[in-house]
Amino acid sequence: MKERDVIVVYLKDTEGQLKLRPAVCLRQLSHNYHAFIACGLTTRLQYCVEGFDEIVTPQDDNLERLRETSLIRLGFLSQIQTGQ
């Protein structure tokens, strides 16, 4: 796993339940080389918070493996362990 990778991981939803969801790796944690900060992705663009979330497309060259236009939901951050 590396920064900007699109991955599928268990993330908590708005009700606190874990669900398998797409996410993007934002940054590897410097104090823990086996963890990343990741942010949830959705194709439901109507959930966009103007001036906060970011819409990305497969044509953007800064994301790996993005299949369709998606919304990076900055309110859905999680720490993801890589399994070393």
Cβ–Cβ < 8 Å for 8, 23: yes
Per-residue pLDDT of 16-43, as tens digits, reads 888 899 999 888 887 767 889 999 999 9
Q: Give the pLDDT score at 84.
A: 54
Tokens at residue 69, please?
């236009």
* pLDDT value, residue 75: 86
Query: Model confidence over 38-72: pLDDT tens digits?
Result: 999 999 999 999 999 999 998 887 777 888 999 99
At 30 the pLDDT is 77
Evaluate if pTM is beyond 0.75.
yes
Question: What is the number of other CB atoms lying within 10 angstroms of the CB of residue 66?
Answer: 19
